[in-house]
């Protein structure tokens, strides 16, 4: 007995008996997307009841063409597993094996609903792993520093000077622009409030302490973390992708001594200088705005600044610069070494490095504010 779905269909179903007398189903024709586009539902209705018979023999050798659509339709009719008695062409057997392997892999990935406690735990574990990695990297750098003290000729002066140029000299423009604008905005808004109470003279106190102690170091650190930190991470990541790090290891050149330590030393030197530069330019912007808004002369502003701002604020700002420079370099290099040999990991690692560095800079500023709460404010 045979049945055709319509005159335009090439799919044919025949019922027969096997050599052992068991029922046999013979399929022929083309099981492709074009053939099944309007007949898949009808075919499923016809074959689904037959698929439940465990002793049914399936003969698919008469199928001339079969694509993934036809194979997937039969796979679903069978209940997502091959029947015990089936005869296939070799090329069609490969299609079913591929579908079986794909479904098996997808079943190994359970769909877990979002659990905030689980997410917090996973984040904490990842953060702890990065913290341990940064501490380990710091220890290795201390050992490298000890080695350089006993072997001064091995000091990578060229790499240190290159880091100073890239992170310091090339960052003067952007830090000056941002610092000058921040100084103008802060002075303008503060002068508006001070004029209300006739306390124009206190604009010097506000600008001096806020810029030298807080805004100058913070602006410099955040800009360096976004600009130089991302550059360091991307550089190490590209070296990982191009297998340059593996080549250095084969040649016996330690990564920490030639790549990481110069960056840490260079940034720890460049950051305090950038803090002084950014704070000076921001104070210049504040002076310009104060002269325009309040009529305070430049000479009077500078003379009064040293009287109302204790020198301790400058040392606190420089201390923040040194600490932030070291931390930004360590975080950037740590995430750079964690990048895998693919471009997707390079982008993710660079983004994570910048976000982590900026967040850490803000935390460091808060710690300094708590520790030195009673220093330089009286």
- The verdict on 242 and 328 lying in the same domain is yes
Question: Which of 107, 135, 170 delimits the end of a domain?
Answer: 107
Domain interval for residue 203: 157-371
Asked whether residue 354 is assigned to any structural domain, the reply reads: yes
Give residue 104's pLDDT.
58
CA angle 41, 44, 46 (to 5 degrees): 110
Asked whether residue 82 is assigned to any structural domain, the reply reads: yes
Other CB atoms within a 10 A radius of the CB of residue 295 amount to 9
Question: Which of 65, 88, 107 delimits the end of a domain?
Answer: 107
Distance CA 66, CA 79 (A): 19
CA distances from 196 to 202, 210, 320 (A): 12, 21, 34
**pLDDT tens per residue across span 16-65:** 777 777 788 787 778 777 777 777 777 777 777 777 777 788 887 888 77
In 3-state terms, what secondary structure has residue 339? Answer: coil
- The verdict on 232 and 307 lying in the same domain is yes
- The verdict on 177 and 74 lying in the same domain is no
Of the pLDDT bands very low, low, confident and very high (cuts 50, 70, 90), residue 242 is confident
- The verdict on 55 and 177 lying in the same domain is no
Please tell me the pTM assigned to this model. Answer: 0.68
- The verdict on 227 and 352 lying in the same domain is yes
Structural domain count of the chain: 2
Asked whether residue 97 is assigned to any structural domain, the reply reads: yes
What CATH number is attached to the domain comprising 86? 3.30.750.24
Asked whether residue 284 is assigned to any structural domain, the reply reads: yes
Asked whether residue 142 is assigned to any structural domain, the reply reads: no
Distance CA 324, CA 342 (A): 30
Q: What number is the average pLDDT over the span 317-339?
A: 92
The upper half-sphere exposure of residue 157, i.e. CA atoms within 13 Å in the direction of its Cβ, equals: 3
Question: Which of 107, 126, 144 delimits the end of a domain?
Answer: 107
- The verdict on 202 and 93 lying in the same domain is no
**pLDDT tens per residue across span 21-30:** 778 878 777 8
Q: Are 297 and 200 in contact (CB under 8 A)?
A: no
Asked whether residue 127 is assigned to any structural domain, the reply reads: no
Asked whether residue 132 is assigned to any structural domain, the reply reads: no
- The verdict on 216 and 92 lying in the same domain is no
- The verdict on 48 and 161 lying in the same domain is no
**pLDDT tens per residue across span 268-318:** 999 999 999 999 999 999 999 988 888 888 888 888 888 888 889 899 999
Token match 């005159």: residue?
7
Distance CA 52, CA 55 (A): 9
- The verdict on 99 and 161 lying in the same domain is no
- The verdict on 312 and 187 lying in the same domain is yes
Asked whether residue 292 is assigned to any structural domain, the reply reads: yes
Picking from 376, 332, 76, the residue whose alpha carbon sits closest to that of residue 221 is: 332
């Amino acid at each position: 007995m045979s049945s055709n779905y319509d005159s335009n269909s090439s799919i044919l179903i025949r019922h027969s008996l096997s050599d052992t007398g068991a029922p046999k189903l013979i399929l022929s024709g083309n099981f492709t997307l074009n053939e099944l586009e309007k007949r898949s539902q009808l075919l499923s209705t016809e074959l689904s009841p037959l698929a439940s018979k465990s002793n049914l023999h399936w003969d698919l050798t008469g199928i001339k063409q079969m694509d993934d659509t036809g194979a997937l339709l039969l796979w679903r009719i069978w209940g997502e597993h091959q029947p015990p008695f089936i005869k296939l062409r070799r090329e069609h057997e490969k299609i079913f094996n591929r579908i079986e392997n794909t479904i098996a892999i997808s079943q190994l990935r359970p769909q877990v609903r979002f659990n905030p406690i689980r997410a917090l735990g996973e984040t904490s574990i990842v953060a702890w792993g990065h913290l341990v990695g940064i501490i380990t990297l710091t220890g290795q750098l201390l050992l490298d520093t000890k080695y350089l003290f006993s072997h001064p000729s091995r000091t990578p002066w060229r790499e240190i000077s290159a880091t100073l140029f890239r992170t310091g000299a090339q960052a003067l423009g952007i830090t000056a622009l941002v610092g000058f604008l921040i100084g103008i905005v802060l002075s303008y808004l503060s002068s508006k409030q001070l004029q209300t109470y006739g306390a124009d003279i206190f604009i010097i106190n506000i600008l001096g302490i806020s810029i030298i102690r807080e805004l100058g170091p913070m602006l410099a650190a955040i800009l360096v973390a976004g600009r130089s930190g991302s550059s360091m991470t991307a550089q190490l990541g590209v070296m990982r992708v191009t297998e340059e790090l593996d080549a250095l290891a084969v040649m016996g050149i330690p990564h920490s001594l030639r790549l990481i330590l110069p960056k840490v030393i260079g940034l720890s030197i460049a950051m305090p200088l950038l803090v002084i530069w950014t704070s000076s330019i921001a104070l210049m912007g504040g002076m310009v705005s104060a002269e325009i808004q309040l009529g305070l002369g430049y000479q009077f502003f500078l003379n009064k600044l040293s009287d109302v701002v204790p020198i301790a604020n400058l040392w606190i700002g420089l201390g923040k610069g040194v600490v932030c420079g070291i931390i930004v370099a360590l975080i950037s290099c740590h995430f750079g070494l964690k990048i895998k040999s693919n471009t997707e990991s390079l982008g993710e690692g660079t983004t994570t490095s910048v976000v982590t560095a900026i967040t850490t800079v803000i935390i460091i500023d808060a710690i300094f504010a708590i520790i030195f709460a009673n220093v330089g404010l009286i």
